[in-house]
């Protein structure tokens, strides 16, 4: 499961692993992005980060995954999304794509799991 951590520095895309289809979660937190704006703040900052999606690329061996999300570090004040008569105007949004190896994630999991 991947998610955007907007509330607790460092602000970033994180993930959790479950070995029982989500009934329980392992203690380790995976990091799918570097520190995004606000990582060293001791107070909340207005950032917009989220809705990450992760997939395994079909036909890859070893298996490769991609996690994508959007991010905007500049939503101070009135914000970066504004509604108009014809839709929405966005400013300073970027898409972040992280390519990862399932083998590397599983190897890291073995190092931290009992």
Burial 52-74 (b: 16+ CB within 10 A, else e): bebeeeeeeeeebbebbbebbbe
Q: What is the dihedral of CA 36, 41, 44, 45, to 10 degrees?
A: -50
pLDDT tens across 57-87, in order? 999 999 999 998 887 766 555 455 666 777 7
Q: How many CB atoms lie within 10 A of CB 111?
A: 7
pTM of the model: 0.68
What residues contact residue 47 under an 8 Å CB cut-off, 6+ apart?
6, 11, 36, 37, 38, 71, 72, 73, 75
Could you give the maximum distance between any two Cα atoms of the chain, in Å?
56
pLDDT tens across 24-63, in order? 988 878 877 766 654 455 555 566 777 889 998 999 999 9
């Amino acid at each position: 499961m991947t998610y955007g951590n907007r509330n607790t520095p460092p602000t970033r895309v994180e993930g959790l692993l479950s070995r029982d289809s989500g009934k329980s979660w392992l203690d380790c937190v995976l990091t799918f992005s570097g520190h995004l704006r606000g990582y060293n703040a001791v107070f909340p900052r207005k950032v917009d980060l989220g809705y990450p999606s992760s997939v395994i690329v079909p036909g890859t061996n070893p298996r490769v995954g991609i996690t994508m999300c959007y991010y905007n570090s500049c939503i101070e004040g009135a914000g970066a999304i504004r509604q108009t008569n014809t839709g929405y105007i966005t400013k300073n949004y970027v898409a972040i794509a992280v390519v990862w190896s399932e083998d590397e994630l599983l190897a890291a999991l073995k190092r931290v799991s009992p």
